[in-house]
Each structure stands twice: as structure tokens, then as C-alpha cells.
């Protein structure tokens, strides 16, 4: 059977759904942003891992190695924040092919170390080897949280408010702009309009924010800190890496609830809207399905409405409903649609 | 600068030597088989990670996917045992290219899950994505040990006995046999002597042990259990993944000591000796530098001489000396050589 028939989530489900933990220290296995471990003490350990492969997750034509290192760490930290934890340690494994020099790997590491410094994380080991198959980066992050503070995907309750940090779709549009300029660059090379050793240096003036959101995302420690300061422990939380629709559906499935998401409340930056217009894309589709936002999606009890509204950079975008009501998006015109992971359809 | 100028250890050293941990829970960072973490409790967490890349670490021409999965887990468990710990959890990240079907990944997982079951380890998550660059496997293992039992590389003292489990060089010769048969197979294909769809099925009768040592190594939990039962906590320990010479030099460097290793005491299986003879290789070189043995190399105080001698499958192969004496190998004829990581030279 072709793997594409099952998709990533289907394949993982097929391979791991019948796994039963045998160790007392395994409190939660696969299926959330992090696994949850517990030893002798009230602290919980949170473990997450991400594999970044050249040609799939990044393109060295337009990705500076320093940014790549920064992002590779950041996407892992984001998973720990999404459990309401504090990232503490990372391990870094690299497969390095012959194109890359020591100075290139130093650039990559400089980005990783900057990310670690900013988020007070220790690089505690890893594995480095040569590669005949492109640059490979595998990072595992371990974080911690007091037992009572750990937030899973599965705790959302009907009437809970659905909240989202920052804004969505910007990284996706940053990627589209980079891909468009790359295509133009290679076309010009092919037609001999530019010299074969001309660097890839398109003019992205006015679009810097979108590029930065894609190339150098920032995990939202500030949001976690603000929630803690306000005394709020979300009932459920995830980071938005695969797109708002996909993540919200994960929360609905894990929590056995439905949702009502209001299209008009989805937070957008004006550069995102402008670039979507220019590229002839529906900006809501970009925000719902684009992914790589690394914002936090979480739910809080309805009673916290006013407290949440006073926090910076957090928007209430809908509320949780009974499972029977299903996952619903209310479009700008007021019509209702069933929320789907890839695009959506009229209900 | 070309990375080959520095080598793997030189590169890691350059990138990580000035890293200072900032978290209280980071007790030991890079530089041992595992990082050591400590939270609120007397249990220590041990973290190790390994990246396996197609074309570098494995060759699917002669590596059954089930064995590959088993080995990928085992090499990580071996690192936890090498700290005198008990492996508890693994995460598994896979990059899967289009050649592979769902059934192939199920085979790979079957091997990984068998390894987990035998060693009572939980698979708690990971990351799965498509790959355009061959099969990629990244595994992180977390184990634990009471604080007082954790064994580092750095505790060896002069007069300590150097001990080694099992026997060495077998996996290296298994690999040489597989590579030889693969070359013959492709030569025959090229010359049209066999059909293009003929499977790679060489006759390895009488060599099964060597192939198994390479394709399906077993991490030595039994040795750790036997040492615990005998009340022995080694003063230093490593697993032998890069070859006896390399590992012993790591212990000497980390412990600031020298060593005397006796060539005649290096444990060898008769199949290893026979295959080395057939392939015209020096069997001691294979044992010293071959690698992938996944045996345990450790040191114990001299006073434990008789206790160690009563344990099955452990041999005393030398003793620790003062740093000034350097790392020395005493050859079969009695001459002394400086021990080197790749081969050795007369002193």
C-alpha cells in the first residue's frame, strides 16, 4: 500500500495505536505535542522531537543556515510551550553532506545556540555523521512543568473559549513569495539572463515580516508567561504547525467536543492580506491551512473571557460546543461550514 | 574548511566545547554516552540520541527492514546501559522515501517494537515525514538510574581493571562478508550472469553468528543485571560502538589516566578469527577498530578481581595506569605500542 493513501497521521496511528506503555514513568505516549514522563517528584518531563529533511522541510536556495538552525530549535521549543511547559534541554543530530564546510555548520550551530540562549535551553548532546542524502537535522527537546500545570489536547469543554496568539498565514505567504522568486531566478538562469554565479537575492522590501515569519519563527514563551502571570491554565492547548484547521480538529477529537470558529475573528497581519491579494490566494484559506505559524491555540473556561481580553496579542476566535454539533466554521457572510483539515466544505 | 579535516569528534568539540549549561536540571551535557538530567528526586534521567542515514549507516540491499528497526533501537538502549541505567522511553522519527510502502514501514516498526518489548521500553512519540533523500531514522532514548548508580566515562583510576563483555570484531567481519557478497552480486548482474530480478541471497552458512552480530546486535542488559546482582558499580563505562581502541582512549582522556591493554586477552569468537583469516585481515585490528560491537567496556577497582572473574561473559583485558604512562597496548609478542584510535603504531 502506498503511504500517501494513509497520510502521516494515518500511518502513525496504524503503527502506534495499539502500543501500551509498560513503564510507570510513561504518563502519556504518542498523540500530543509532547510525551509526558513522571519520575520520583512532582515535576513532569515533556519530550518532543522533530526531524527536518532537506528538500522536504527546507530549501537551502533561500534558507540561510543560521536561520535554519534557529528555526529547527524553535519548532521543538514551541511543542514544549504548547504543553504549558518550560523547555530545558535539546539534543541535536546532524547528517552533513559534502557540499557543507565547517563554516556552514558553524553558521547552523550559531542559529541553534542563539535560539537556546534566548529561551535558556541547554544543548546536551547529539550525534553527527556524514550524509550522502542532503542535510538532515533531528532535534529532541526535553522540558518540564509542575504536574498540575501540564496542558494536554484533551481537556477542552463545551462553552470554553477558543483563543489564538499572534496572527496566522504569514509564514505560508512568506514561503509562497520565496518559491515564486526562486522559480523566476531559475528561469532567468536557464534563459541566460543572469550569470550562473549570480546569487539568489530577490527584493522583498515591504515583505520582511512574512519572510521572517517563515524563516525565523519565534516560539511563544511570552504568551505562556503572560498566561501564568494572569493565573490561567488553559483547558487544552497545541501549537499551530500544520494549520489552524488541522490543530483545532485535533483538539476537538482528543477532547470529544465540537467547535464554532468565526472566520472574521481569525487574526491576520495586513502584510498577509496584501500578499494573498497579490498572489490571488484566499487569505482565510492561507490562515486556516497554511501552517508553520508556531502560534498557540488554546481553550479557556468562558468565565475567563474578560481576563483573556485584557492580555496582549491573544484573540478569542470561537468557542467549544458539544461533540454532536461537530466542528463548524462560521464564514464572514454568516453561512456555516464543516471545518476540514485541508480546506473546508459547505455544511 | 573541509569537515573531514576535523573528523566527527573534532567537529562536535569545536561546536560544543564552550557550551555552559544554564539549567539546574542539566547535570552533564555532551561528551558521554548519555546526558544526565536531574529534577526533584533522587532519580537521574539519561538521554541519548542516534541518527541512522541510508547509504552511511545501513544498506537496504542486505539489511532486512525488521533487523534495521531492531538495531536502530538497540544502539540507543546500549548507550543507556553504558551509563548503568535502565532504558524507559524512546521517540522515533522517520523520513520515508517513495520506494517504501506501508508494509515496509510496518516491518521496520515490527523490529523496533520487538526491541522495545524485550527491553521493556515504551515508544512514546516521534515524527514521520516523507523524504526525497532516502530512509532516515532518528531515535532518542530516555532511561533512568538512581543518582548513586550512574557511571560516567570519567571515573577510572590507576590500578583499576579494564573489563569487556562478550567478544569483539564479529560485527565488523559480518559487514565485510556482506559487502563482499554484494560486490559479487552486482558484478554478476552487470555481466548478465544472473537475472535482473534475482534477489540478493548469498550463502552465509557457518557465518550466521557474524551476520547476526552486525545486522541484529543485542544491547547487554544481561551484563548490567549481572553487575548489579554482584553489587558492582563500575568506576567508568562505555559501550563499544566505534571500536575498542577509540572507546578506551575516550575513557583515558575523560578520566585523565593511561592504560595497559593486552592484545592476547581481547575476546574473539572463533568465527571472527576464521573470517579474518579468509579475508586476509588482522583479527586484532578488526577487534580494536571494527566497531558496532555494542559490548560494554568498563573499569572496576582491582579488589574486585575475583568477583569479576566469576561472572559469565566478562573478560579482564588490561588495567588503568597513571596518565604519564599513556595509553599502551602490549602485543602478543610482548612488544609495547601506543594505542591509537585508528590502527596503532609502535611506541
pLDDT at B344 over 50: no
pLDDT of residue B8: 76
Distance (Å, whole) CA B222 – CA B81: 10
First-to-final CA distance of chain A: 32
For residue A205, the model assigns a pLDDT of 87
* Cα B227 → chain centroid: 19
Residue B270: band (very low, low, confident or very high) from pLDDT cuts 50, 70, 90: very high
A79 contacts A34 by C-beta, under 8 angstroms = yes
The whole-number average pLDDT for the span B152-170 is 98
How many C-beta atoms surround the C-beta of residue B21 within 10 A? 17
Q: What percentage of chain B reaches a pLDDT higher than 70? A: 99
pLDDT at B137 (0 to 100): 97
The string of pLDDT tens digits covering residues A11-22 is 888 888 888 999
Residue A113 pLDDT exceeds 90: yes
Task: Report the alpha-carbon distance of residue B275 to residue B281 in Å, rounded.
Answer: 8
Average pLDDT on A49-53 reads 95
Burial B301-340 (b: 16+ CB within 10 A, else e): beebeeebeebeebbbbbbbbeeeeebbbbeeeeeebebe
- Mean pLDDT score of chain B: 93
Determine whether the interchain pair B29/A124 forms a contact, defined as Cβ–Cβ distance below 8 Å: yes
From the list B19, B21, B51, the residue facing A138 with the nearest CB is B51
pLDDT of residue B343: 40
C-alpha cell at A123: 544543548
Measured between beta carbons, the chain A residues lying within 8 angstroms of B69 are none
DSSP 3-state assignment of B36? strand
What digits encode the pLDDT tens for the residues B93-109?
999 998 999 999 999 99
Residue B208: is its pLDDT beyond 50?
yes
Residue A277 has pLDDT above 50, yes or no: yes
Cβ partners under 8 Å of residue B257, min gap 6: B156, B157, B158, B251, B320, B321, B322, B323
pLDDT of residue A195: 87
Which pLDDT band holds residue B346 (cuts at 50, 70, 90)? very low
> By CA distance, what is A44's nearest residue in B?
B39
pLDDT at B347: 32
What is the interface pTM, i.e. ipTM, of the complex? Answer: 0.91
Contact at 8 Å (CB) between A35 and A46?
Answer: yes
Cell numbers placing B198: 534475482
Does the distance separating the beta carbons of A144 and B140 come in below 8 Å? no
Q: What is the pLDDT of residue B177?
A: 95
**What pLDDT score was predicted for residue A149?**
96
In a 13 Å sphere around the CA of A179, the CA atoms on its Cβ side amount to 10
Chain A residues whose CB is inside 8 A of the B125 CB are 29-31, 34-35, 47-49
Q: In terms of C-beta density within 10 A (0-12 exposed, 13-18 middle, 19 or more buried), how is residue A259 classed?
A: buried
**Average pLDDT over all residues of chain A:** 93
Is A112's pLDDT higher than 80?
Answer: yes
Strands of the B258-262 sheet, one edge to the other? B236-240, B295-300, B161-165, B314-321, B258-262, B327-330, B336-338, B345-346
Q: How do residues B285-298 score in pLDDT, each as one tens digit?
A: 999 999 999 999 99
More confident residue, A239 or B198: A239
Residues 6+ apart with CB under 8 A from B152: B28, B32, B36, B83, B236, B237, B254
Out of A98-112, A291-305, B191-205, B262-276, which region has the weakest mean confidence (pLDDT)?
B191-205
Q: Chain A residues with CB inside 8 Å of B39's CB?
A: 39, 41, 43, 45, 144
**Closest chain A residue to the Cα of B37, Cα to Cα:** A89
Return the C-alpha cell found at A134.
542532503
Contact B51 A15 (CB under 8 A): no
Q: Do B124 and A35 touch (CB under 8 A)?
A: yes
Closest CA–CA distance from residue B318 to any residue of chain A (Å): 29
pLDDT band at B12 (very low <50, low <70, confident <90, very high): confident
Query: Counting beta carbons within 10 angstroms of the beta carbon of residue B193, is it exposed (0 to 12), middle (13 to 18) or buried (19 or more)?
Result: exposed
For position B319, what pLDDT does the model report? 98
Residue B287 and residue B315 in contact, taking contact as beta carbons nearer than 8 Å: no
For residues B209-227, average pLDDT: 97
Residues 6+ apart with CB under 8 A from A43: A144, A145, A146, A147, B39, B40, B41
pLDDT at B280 over 70: yes
One DSSP character per residue, A54-118 reads BTTTB-TTT--HHHHHHHHHHHHHHHHHTTT-EEEEEEEEEEE-TT--HHHHHHHHHHHHHHHHH
pLDDT greater than 50 at residue A346: no
pLDDT at A345: 35
Q: For residue A108, what is the nearest residue in chain B, using CA coordinates? A: B15
Find the CB nearest B1 among A95, A101, A126.
A101
Question: Interhelix angle for B65-81 vs B221-229, to 10°?
Answer: 30
pLDDT in tens, A32-45: 899 999 998 889 99
pLDDT score recorded for residue B345:
35
Q: Contact A168/A290 with Cβ under 8 angstroms?
A: yes
Q: Torsions phi, psi of A63, nearest 5?
A: -110, 105
Q: Are B144 and B42 in contact (CB under 8 A)?
A: no
> H or E element: which one contains A179?
helix A170-190
Per-residue pLDDT band for B122 (boundaries 50, 70, 90) equals very high
The total number of residues shown for chain B amounts to: 347
* Inter-chain CB proximity B132 and A56 less than 8 Å: yes
Closest CA to A77 of A127, A125, A117: A117
Single pTM value for the model:
0.93
Amino acid at each position: 500500500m502506498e503511504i500517501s493513501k494513509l497520510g502521516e497521521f494515518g500511518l502513525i496511528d496504524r503503527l502506534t495505536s495499539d502500543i501500551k506503555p509498560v513503564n510507570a514513568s510513561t504518563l502519556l505516549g504518542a498523540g500530543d505535542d509532547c510525551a509526558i514522563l513522571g519520575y520520583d517528584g512532582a515535576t513532569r518531563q515533556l519530550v518532543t522531537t522533530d526531524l527536518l529533511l532537506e528538500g522536504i522541510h527546507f530549501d537551502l536556495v533561500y534558507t540561510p543556515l543560521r536561520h535554519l538552525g534557529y528555526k529547527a530549535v524553535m519548532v521543538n521549543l514551541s511543542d514544549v510551550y504548547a504543553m504549558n511547559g518550560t523547555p530545558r534541554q535539546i539534543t541535536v543530530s546532524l547528517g552533513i553532506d559534502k557540499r557543507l564546510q565547517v563554516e556552514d555548520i558553524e553558521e547552523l550551530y550559531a542559529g541553534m545556540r542563539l535560539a537556546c540562549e534566548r529561551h535558556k535551553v541547554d544543548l546536551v548532546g547529539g550525534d553527527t555523521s556524514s550524509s550522502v542524502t542532503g542535510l538532515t537535522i533531528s532535534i529532541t527537546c526535553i522540558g518540564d512543568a509542575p504536574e498540575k500545570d501540564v496542558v494536554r489536547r484533551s481537556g477542552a469543554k463545551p462553552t470554553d473559549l477558543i483563543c489564538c496568539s499572534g496572527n496566522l498565514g504569514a509564514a505560508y505567504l512568506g514561503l509562497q513569495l520565496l518559491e515564486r522568486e526562486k522559480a523566476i531566478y531559475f528561469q532567468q538562469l536557464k534563459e541566460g539572463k543572469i550569470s550562473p554565479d549570480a546569487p539568489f537575492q530577490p527584493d522583498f522590501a515591504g515583505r520582511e515580516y512574512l519572510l521572517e515569519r517563515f524563516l525565523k519563527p519565534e516560539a511563544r514563551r511570552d504568551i505562556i508567561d503572560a498566561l501564568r502571570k494572569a493565573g490561567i491554565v488553559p483547558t487544552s492547548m497545541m501549537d499551530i504547525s500544520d494549520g489552524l484547521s488541522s490543530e483545532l480538529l485535533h483538539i476537538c477529537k482528543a477532547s470529544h467536543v465540537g467547535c464554532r470558529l468565526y472566520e472574521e475573528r481569525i487574526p491576520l497581519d495586513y502584510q498577509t492580506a496584501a500578499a494573498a491579494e497579490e498572489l490571488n490566494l484566499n487569505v482565510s484559506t492561507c490562515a486556516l491551512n497554511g501552517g508553520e505559524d508556531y502560534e498557540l491555540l488554546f481553550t479557556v473556561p468562558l468565565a475567563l473571557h474578560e481576563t483573556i481580553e485584557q492580555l496582549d496579542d491573544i484573540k478569542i476566535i470561537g468557542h467549544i460546543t458539544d461533540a454532536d454539533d461537530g466542528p463548524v466554521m462560521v464564514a464572514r457572510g454568516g453561512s456555516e461550514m464543516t471545518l476540514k483539515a485541508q480546506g473546508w466544505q459547505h455544511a
